[in-house]
Amino acid sequence: MHWKQHRYPHPAADAASSGGKLYTPIGVSGDDAQYTLGGAKIIVMLLSFCLHEAQALELSRFPWFVLRGEYNLGPPTLDGPLRVLAWSLNVAYGGVFPAVGPCGDALSEARRKQANKPLAGGPYALVEIRGDWKWHYEIFRFQRNYNPKLVHTCHFCDATHRAGRHQFSKFEAFRDTPRLSPSQFITKALGSYVAPLTWVTGFNPEAIHYCAMHVVNLGLAQWINAATLLALLDRGFFGAKTVALAARLQVCTLRFRRWCSLHGIMQSQPFITVGMLHMGSAAAPTAPELTLKAYHGRVFLAFLSCCCEVALQSAGDDSELQLIAALTSNLAHWHLAVESYPRYLLPDQATRLWSLANRTCLLYRSLAARAIRAGIYFLELRNCCWRQLGTWSTSDFWVPLLWVLDSTFQVLAGQVLLVYATALLLGSWNNFLGAYASKLKGAGFDFQVLAGHMLLVYALQRCYWARGIVFWVPLLRRVLDSTSKVLAGRVLLVYMLQHCYVLGSWNRLLGAYASLKGAGFEFQVLAGHVLLVYTPQCGYWAHGVDSGKLLQ
């Protein structure tokens, strides 16, 4: 049964399908654990039988290596034991007791008597390498991660944080993203250090499994729980906003305990305190994070889902709360499905798990996008994701845009930041006029073209917030370079944002261009100007246009 449903190519699966040997699937895992009150840790590596469903965990996972954490220096320390492990796993795959040791050394007399005899229960095949991100990095030393300086973010596939078909935030295209073969994994995802586990017969990067508890319960769920709790607190669900936050969190904890008791759910959650709700600082704000234990975080998520359903009954048309309720409900149902389904999934069970996980990601992305458009921290999302969130993201367009803007549209980066900050804080066109006169210009900035600045801010106010073009400010910081000279292209760019792709009239744009030029602006008619205006006007925002064809 196992080899019939095995996901990735493996010689043991081929042998089973051809009526040959039947291999016992095994897995290895590792983690660190605190063993003293002072915080000292040990590293533990374990071997497990994947198909053995024992009642007690200690009967299915067997430690074979233990090391005090202070003695671990990374690859220089772990490479030796991992080489022995790789040798042993290859011997187990052969199914015959070895005649010599891992380094060619002689065996003891008792072991020599077992040489060349079949291994009990063998042969064995490695199919799972389990652990959290820290552990996998410890043994593989991946060279791919979410670093803006790197192109690829994933050591399993060609996903990238940059513009293109394989942006990692395009969850809908996940199945179409090319996966790395074992050889590509070694040459592309690993650095100069090649982990010994890649030498094991049948190794495939898909054998690397991440701990769902760390990824979901101690990762995604902590951000979702915090965002949901804050949304309910903001709507007065756990008491009036005039009541101290600590008191409202106590009310929340008491309701959570009663809810668990009503449904027969075991829990030992202490009172939730303000210290558990991490918000960062004013100087370095972060997305809110509620740091509960893994089990309690999973149960608390289901509780918050029920709270959202109750709050919606009196909230009316609260679109944000509707999205939050859908997000918490989807993730809670995913947890229930994972816990109730057997190891061998039926097709409909696998489809349901996939559907719940994918919908959770899409809802998370939608809520993160709403928060970004509002200029607030709500759900954790790296800045480089901002221009990749959903259908309104047109980041493929920025490659030709950067080429066009590189040497034409220039403005002092500080001006852009101040203008953006003023528009963000004041939020009013009339308020900005006063702020411009009293603060910005009075501060000594030389705004040569007043209308250009006004158009810039107005475009940010009307289009940035309403249409979700959240990446304009980072974009302007990059391409509107280092002087206060405002060329016509800049005004035209802003005018395009403010009017052209909304009204959809090329003739109106030409008329506006002529009127602005007649007003004394120094316009340089470049092909880039036409590209910048004509592209959005002709439906790029809605349909997408090949940037290469545009440049041609």
How far CA 358 is from CA of 51, 322, 330, 353, in Å, comes to 28, 18, 9, 9
What pLDDT shows up at residue 73? 83
Q: Which segments of 316-464 does DSSP mark as H helices, in order?
A: 319-340, 347-373, 398-405, 413-426, 429-435, 450-459
Nearest CA-CA partner of 271 in 259, 288, 258, 254: 254
What pLDDT shows up at residue 86? 93
Residue that has been written with the tokens 């792709």 in this structure: 501
Burial 131-148 (b: 16+ CB within 10 A, else e): bbeebbebbbbbebeeee
d(CA 93, CA 103): 18
What pLDDT shows up at residue 149? 66
What pLDDT shows up at residue 282? 60
Q: Which residues of the chain have pLDDT under 70?
A: 1-2, 4-7, 17-19, 54-58, 146-149, 162-164, 281-285, 373-375, 377, 381-552
In sequence order, which residues have a C-beta less than 8 Å from that of residue 283 and are 6 or more positions away? Answer: none
List the domain boundaries for the chain: 11-139+194-209, 142-192, 213-383, 394-551
Per-residue HEC secondary structure of 414-431 comes to: HHHHHHHHHHHHHCCHHH
pTM of the model: 0.64
What pLDDT shows up at residue 451? 38
d(CA 45, CA 27): 11
d(CA 466, CA 487): 27
What does residue 542 show for φ and ψ, rounded to 5 degrees? -90, -35
42: left (phi over 0), alpha (psi -120 to 50) or beta: beta
Residue that has been written with the tokens 């980066």 in this structure: 413
What pLDDT shows up at residue 434? 54
Six token digits for residue 192: 């100069």
Q: Which segments of 374-519 does DSSP mark as H helices, in order?
A: 398-405, 413-426, 429-435, 450-459, 465-467, 472-479, 488-495, 501-503, 506-518
